[in-house]
Structure 1
Amino acid sequence: MDPDAIDAVTRVPHGGESDPELVDFSANTNPQTPDGVSGVYEAALSAAGRYPTDDYCEFRAAAADYIGVTGTEIIPTAGGLAGMRLLCSVVIANGDSVAIPQPSFGEYAREVRLHGGEPTFVRHDEITDIDPAAHRMVIVCNPNNPTGESYDHARLQALADRCRSADTVLLVDEAFLDFTSEPSLAGTPGVVVARSLTKIFGLPGLRAGFLVATGDLRERLNVARPTWALSTPAAAVGTHCLADTDFVAETRERVDTERKRMRHRLAERFRVYPSEAPFLLCETREPVDEVLTEAREAGLTVRDATTFRGLDSHIRVAVKRAHQNDRLLSAFGV
């Protein structure tokens, strides 16, 4: 990290509501978790009086089976964002350009700046077509947050090929890919995939995730990763969740059904963008502050999407359980 950059960087706003009286549509996390999580967590607490085994063999094996790579390609991290910070620390030198989609997850630009790099913003729907030669790294969010669309796999693969030829690292943030049927780029040479248990398994406070990398980059990440990066409970719960593929399939089906229903209804009032993620981006003709207040008065919170670079009249709503979604639709009069 570049100490001189810290004074010029600020915190990034995110969704998430601390008031338990409000139904939170601002954070894109699964409202359900796999069966057995509480029991696994409680059992792991008895072992938390000792340091974790730093090789995390069981967690790596579960992650590798889940995503379809070998265990040696898995780098355990305390969530997807911790993995991205690790990658930036290994890859970026002062002044390096990093291509970042716009609009997209605000932490990308923050991490690049903290490590002395220079964000180069590219329209999110053009990021797969760029020439990577001028950049040390290219970042793609698939599906993109907050717009919700996923990228054509062949175009991503072609970008990966160009990045490899240019000696440019390609980071693909697949935090929401579990909600789609699209294949992962994990295991592709020159590509680093970031994954999190936050979204699909509904465990944002657990802070568990992993990177997938190959070759020399994998070796460098493994050497540089923090010792004991995952707590014992996080590793145990993560291992348990990653084995529950039925839960993932059921979640995907539920979200797909509810997202289609919500998009159709919300379109009566907003311009609603196509999405393959567990959220919908809505453009409003009304002042965003008024829409946020309207939701809050109904006991709900939605995301102020004007905090995303390039958006000025948008909100983002998560896809939750059917009865919760009904409350949102009723609150908006659709």
Structure 2
Amino acid sequence: MDTVTYDLHHHGDAELAPGLVDLAVNVRTGTPPAWLREVLHRALDDVAAYPDPAPARAAVAAAHGRPPEEVLLAAGAAEVFVLVARALAPRRAVVVHPSFTEPEAALRAAGHPVERLLLPAPDYRLDPAAVPADADLVVLGNPTNPTSVLHPAGAVAALARPGRVLVVDEAFADTVPGEPESLAGCRDLPGVLVVRSLTKTWGLAGLRVGYALGAADLIAALGAAQPQWPVSTPALAALTACSSPAARAEADAAAAELGVSRAALLAALPPAATVVGEPRSSFVLLRVPGGARVRAELRARGWAVRRGDTFPGLDDDHLRVAVRDPATSRALATDLAAILGPPSPTSRTAPPAPEEIR
């Protein structure tokens, strides 16, 4: 069992400072769009009244082909992870890493022991057989932050079984055109809880708005652990608006454009920056020699990137870089190439990730 201590509450926003180009936070640039800003402004006219979640809950349910009782609205995906930790009493909780660290942090804060299943480098692909059969709570991301790997829906679904809650963090699912591997609309899998967020695609990190989808009894149990009126009126208005067919079509178009920008970034990177896995989301994970030094030198040149050593299974040679427009990516690549210098005659290979569950 791993005894390494990680800063589970370190996130990309901690890397930012005035004057730095933000490649550390994966929020889409140019958001919120003008029409969504107008929705939020109009919602301010109603803030004297207590929030009414019913319209937003119905809109989210309709978007995913579910009844409203299978939808939990929350103050961001992070609140859902806290509610899971409050409402459930797992005997054996397993978190699949590398991944977003707030689910593990919430479980530990609630007093639940957590086991880490580290996916093997360099591909970081999910093998359902590696998850202990008696785990009654399993948490993983898809696409996974920070690797940007998209697991096949079938592999994720294979983890569902009676007596187990399977939490799938899909905060970045809408960064993939068509959301082909999402389980958001799957109602026939036992114990699956899909967690979604409006933060990344719609630029609403400061609003704190997300939701969970799952069986009605599981949703009710999580809701019982929430305070009253947990989602603000502006956040509810955003949920309703972003669940419309027009908004979902806009998000899909943005995901397609993201794919073009990601390809431009990958093409521009110098050879000494090794791309980890097969990135499919709005960021890529790099492995560079002397990562801590490289990150510091990038910062001195005006770039903020996300350190990787706070993610279980990664080290300080890992850097997560947000996908931006091609011109920005080329400028980053130029500075990165200057910092790394000419490629060495032998390439450095990543060491195998330690096995934490055998």
| Common fold by TM > 0.5 | yes
CA–CA distance in structure 2, aligned partners of residues 225 and 324 of structure 1: 41
* C-alpha distance after superposition, 1:255-301 (max 9, x if no partner): 1111112112225231102111110000012x222211221122110
Q: Does 1:115 align with 2:110?
A: yes
Which residue of the partner structure matches residue 159 of structure 2?
A: 159
Matched ranges for 1:36-47 at <5 A: 36-47=35-46
Matched ranges for 1:165-314 at <5 A: 167-180=163-176, 181-186=179-184, 187=187, 188-243=189-244, 244-273=247-276, 274-285=278-289, 287-312=290-315, 313-314=317-318
Q: CA deviation at 1:130?
A: 3.5
CA–CA distance in structure 2, aligned partners of residues 106 and 292 of structure 1: 21
What SS does the aligned partner of 1:146 have?
coil
* C-alpha distance after superposition, 1:67-86 (max 9, x if no partner): 33222211000000101111
Matched to 1:182, the amino acid is P
Q: CA deviation at 1:323?
A: 3.1
Where in structure 2 are there 5+ consecutive unaligned residues?
120-124, 339-358
Kept after mapping to 2: 8 A contact 1:262/1:325: yes
Q: CA deviation at 1:227?
A: 1.3
Which residue of the partner structure matches residue 91 of structure 1?
A: 88
Which residue of the partner structure matches residue 99 of structure 2?
A: 104
What value does the CA root-mean-square deviation take over the aligned residues?
Answer: 2.0
Q: CA deviation at 1:127?
A: 5.4
**Would you identify which runs of 4 or more consecutive aligned residues in structure 1 move more than 6 Å?**
none
Q: Does 1:82 align with 2:83?
A: no
Q: Does 1:315 align with 2:316?
A: no
Q: CA deviation at 1:23?
A: 1.1
CA–CA distance in structure 1, aligned partners of residues 18 and 63 of structure 2: 33
Kept after mapping to 1: 8 A contact 2:148/2:281: yes
Judging changes above 3 Å, is the alpha-carbon distance between structure 1 residues 322 and 10 closer, same or farther for their aligned structure 2 residues?
Answer: closer
Matched to 2:175, the amino acid is F
CA–CA distance in structure 2, aligned partners of residues 19 and 175 of structure 1: 25
CA–CA distance in structure 2, aligned partners of residues 290 and 49 of structure 1: 51
TM-score (norm 2): 0.83
CA–CA distance in structure 2, aligned partners of residues 241 and 115 of structure 1: 32
CA–CA distance in structure 1, aligned partners of residues 7 and 285 of structure 2: 25
* Count, aligned residues: 318
Identity of aligned residues (%): 32
Judging changes above 3 Å, is the alpha-carbon distance between structure 1 residues 41 and 195 closer, same or farther for their aligned structure 2 residues?
Answer: same
Judging changes above 3 Å, is the alpha-carbon distance between structure 1 residues 47 and 139 closer, same or farther for their aligned structure 2 residues?
Answer: same
CA–CA distance in structure 1, aligned partners of residues 292 and 181 of structure 2: 38
Where in structure 1 are there 5+ consecutive unaligned residues?
1-7
CA–CA distance in structure 2, aligned partners of residues 14 and 131 of structure 1: 26
CA–CA distance in structure 1, aligned partners of residues 325 and 7 of structure 2: 34
Matched ranges for 1:123-142 at <5 A: 123-124=118-119, 125-126=125-126, 128-142=128-142
Judging changes above 3 Å, is the alpha-carbon distance between structure 1 residues 182 and 319 closer, same or farther for their aligned structure 2 residues?
Answer: same
Judging changes above 3 Å, is the alpha-carbon distance between structure 1 residues 272 and 11 closer, same or farther for their aligned structure 2 residues?
Answer: closer
CA–CA distance in structure 2, aligned partners of residues 222 and 207 of structure 1: 17
CA–CA distance in structure 2, aligned partners of residues 122 and 269 of structure 1: 29
Kept after mapping to 2: 8 A contact 1:9/1:114: no
Kept after mapping to 1: 8 A contact 2:127/2:155: no
CA–CA distance in structure 2, aligned partners of residues 219 and 226 of structure 1: 13
CA–CA distance in structure 1, aligned partners of residues 226 and 127 of structure 2: 28
Judging changes above 3 Å, is the alpha-carbon distance between structure 1 residues 306 and 145 closer, same or farther for their aligned structure 2 residues?
Answer: same
Matched to 1:19, the amino acid is A
Matched to 1:250, the amino acid is A
CA–CA distance in structure 1, aligned partners of residues 211 and 318 of structure 2: 31
Q: CA deviation at 1:18?
A: 4.5
What SS does the aligned partner of 1:138 have?
strand
